[in-house]
Chains A and B, each alone.
Chain A
Amino acid sequence: MNVSTILIILLIGAFATYFSGDKLASKVALLFSLAALGCSIVLLNNFCAGENISVINSWITQPKISFALNADGLALAMLLLTAALTPIIIFSSFGNEYKNAKAFYALILFMAFAMTGTFLAADGLLYYIFWELALIPIYFIALIWGNGDADERRKAVVKFFIYTLAGSLFMLVAFIYLYQKAGSFLIEDLYKLNLSADEQLWIFLAFFLAYAIKIPIIPFHTWQANVYQKAPTVGTMLLSGIMLKMGLYSVIRWQLPIAPLAAREYMDIFIVLGIAGVIYGSIVALRQKDLKKLLAYSSLAHVGLIAAGTYTLTVDGLRGAVLQMIAHGFVVVGLFYAAEIIYRRFETREIASLGGIRTQSPKFTSMFLILVLASVALPTTFNFVGEFTVLYSLSQINIWFAVFGGTTIILGAYYMLKMFQNVMLGETNSKVFADVTLNEGVSMVAIIAVLIFFGFYPKPITDLITPSLETILNVINKN
Chain B
Amino acid sequence: MNTLIAITGLGIFCLLFEILNFRKGIVPFTILGLLGVLALNYYEFGSTASYYNNMIVVSKFSTAFSSLFIILTIFLVALSHNFYENHQTKISDYIAIKVFLLAGAVAMVSFGNLAMFFLGIEILSIALYILAASDRLNIKSNEAGMKYFLMGSFASGIILFGICLIYGAMGTFDVTEIYESSLSAELPIWFPIGMVLMTIGMFFKIAAVPFHFWAPDVYEGSPALTTALMSTLAKVVAVATLYKLVAGLNLIPSLENQDLLGTFEHIIVIISIASMTVGNIMALRQVNVKRMLAFSGISHAGFMLMTFLTIATSAGVLLYYAAAYALAGIAAFSVILYVCKNQDNEDITNFHGLGKTNPLLAAILTGSLLSMAGIPIFSGFFAKLFLFSQTIQSGYIALVIVAVINSIISVGYYFKLILAMYSKEPNEERTGKPFLIYAVAVVSITLNIVLGLFPSLVLDLLN
Residues of chain A having any CB pair with chain B under 8 Å: 60-63, 103, 125, 128-129, 132-133, 135-136, 140, 143-144, 150, 153-154, 158, 161-162, 165-166, 169-170, 172-173, 176-177, 179-180
Q: A62-B459, A143-B423 are in contact. Are A180 and B375 (CB under 8 A)?
A: no
Q: Is the CB of B393 within 8 A of A180?
A: yes
Q: Is the CB of A170 within 8 A of B456?
A: no
Minimum CB distance partner of A136 in chain B: B375
Q: Mark B392-427, 1 if CB is under 8 A from A, else 0.
A: 110001001100100110011001000100110000
CB-CB under 8 A from A169, the residues of chain B are 404, 407-408
Q: A60-B455, A144-B423, A158-B415 are in contact. Are A173 and B393 (CB under 8 A)?
A: no
Minimum CB distance partner of A144 in chain B: B422
Taken together as a complex, chains A and B put the C-alpha atoms of A150 and B408 apart, in Å, by: 24
Interface of A, helix, strand, loop or mixed by DSSP: helix
**When the two chains form the complex, which single residue of B359, B401, B411, B463 contacts A165, counting CB atoms closer than 8 Å?**
B411
Taken together as a complex, chains A and B put the C-alpha atoms of A180 and B459 apart, in Å, by: 18
CB-CB under 8 A from A140, the residues of chain B are 422
CB neighbors of A among B427-463 (8 A): 455-456, 459-460, 463
Q: A158-B415, A172-B385, A180-B392 are in contact. Are A61 and B404 (CB under 8 A)?
A: no
Q: A172-B385, A180-B392 are in contact. Are A60 and B376 (CB under 8 A)?
A: no
Taken together as a complex, chains A and B put the C-alpha atoms of A132 and B463 apart, in Å, by: 29
> Is B386's CB within 8 Å of the partner chain A?
yes
Minimum CB distance partner of A58 in chain B: B456
Q: List 24 A-B contacts (CB under 8 A).
A: A60-B459, A61-B460, A62-B460, A125-B385, A129-B376, A129-B377, A140-B422, A143-B422, A143-B423, A144-B355, A153-B423, A154-B423, A158-B419, A162-B408, A162-B412, A166-B408, A169-B404, A172-B388, A172-B404, A173-B397, A176-B392, A176-B400, A179-B389, A180-B392
Taken together as a complex, chains A and B put the C-alpha atoms of A173 and B407 apart, in Å, by: 12
> Is B240's CB within 8 Å of the partner chain A?
no
Q: Is the CB of A60 within 8 A of B408?
A: no
Minimum CB distance partner of B401 in chain A: A173
Q: A60-B455, A63-B389, A179-B389 are in contact. Are A173 and B404 (CB under 8 A)?
A: yes
Minimum CB distance partner of B452 in chain A: A129
Q: A60-B456, A62-B456 are in contact. Are A154 and B389 (CB under 8 A)?
A: no
CB-CB under 8 A from B386, the residues of chain A are 63
Taken together as a complex, chains A and B put the C-alpha atoms of A132 and B415 apart, in Å, by: 15
Q: A173-B400, A176-B388, A179-B389 are in contact. Are A150 and B423 (CB under 8 A)?
A: yes
Interface of B, helix, strand, loop or mixed by DSSP: helix
**When the two chains form the complex, which single residue of B400, B415, B422, B455 contacts A161, counting CB atoms closer than 8 Å?**
B415
Taken together as a complex, chains A and B put the C-alpha atoms of A464 and B376 apart, in Å, by: 32
> Is B370's CB within 8 Å of the partner chain A?
yes
Taken together as a complex, chains A and B put the C-alpha atoms of A125 and B375 apart, in Å, by: 13
Q: Is the CB of A133 within 8 A of B377?
A: yes
Q: Mark B379-391, 1 if CB is under 8 A from A, else 0.
A: 0010001101100
CB-CB under 8 A from B419, the residues of chain A are 143, 154, 158
CB-CB under 8 A from B422, the residues of chain A are 140, 143-144
| Nearest-Cβ distance from residue A235 to partner chain B, whole angstroms | 14
CB-CB under 8 A from A179, the residues of chain B are 389
Q: Is the CB of B404 within 8 A of A170?
A: yes
CB-CB under 8 A from B400, the residues of chain A are 173, 176
CB-CB under 8 A from B455, the residues of chain A are 60
Minimum CB distance partner of A150 in chain B: B423
CB-CB under 8 A from B377, the residues of chain A are 129, 133
| Nearest-Cβ distance from residue A460 to partner chain B, whole angstroms | 35
Q: Is the CB of A62 within 8 A of B392?
A: no
CB-CB under 8 A from B389, the residues of chain A are 63, 176, 179-180
**When the two chains form the complex, which single residue of B376, B401, B404 contacts A132, counting CB atoms closer than 8 Å?**
B376
**When the two chains form the complex, which single residue of B355, B375, B423, B463 contacts A62, counting CB atoms closer than 8 Å?**
B463
CB-CB under 8 A from A165, the residues of chain B are 375, 408, 411
Taken together as a complex, chains A and B put the C-alpha atoms of A166 and B373 apart, in Å, by: 12
CB-CB under 8 A from B359, the residues of chain A are 103
CB-CB under 8 A from B460, the residues of chain A are 61-62
| Nearest-Cβ distance from residue A369 to partner chain B, whole angstroms | 38
| Nearest-Cβ distance from residue A214 to partner chain B, whole angstroms | 15
Interface centre among B359, B400, B408, B422, by most A CB within 10 Å? B408
Taken together as a complex, chains A and B put the C-alpha atoms of A253 and B358 apart, in Å, by: 42
Q: Which 10 A-B pairs have the closest CB atoms?
A: A129-B376, A166-B408, A132-B376, A169-B404, A176-B389, A176-B392, A176-B388, A154-B423, A60-B455, A180-B393
Interface centre among A125, A140, A158, A172, by most B CB within 10 Å? A172
Q: Is the CB of B408 within 8 A of A136?
A: no
Minimum CB distance partner of B408 in chain A: A166
| Nearest-Cβ distance from residue B382 to partner chain A, whole angstroms | 8
| Nearest-Cβ distance from residue B448 to partner chain A, whole angstroms | 15
Q: Is the CB of B456 within 8 A of A61?
A: yes
Taken together as a complex, chains A and B put the C-alpha atoms of A61 and B455 apart, in Å, by: 9
**Given A60-B455, A165-B408, A172-B404, 14 new contacts (CB under 8 A):** A61-B456, A128-B376, A129-B381, A132-B381, A144-B355, A158-B415, A162-B415, A166-B408, A169-B408, A172-B385, A173-B388, A173-B392, A173-B400, A176-B392
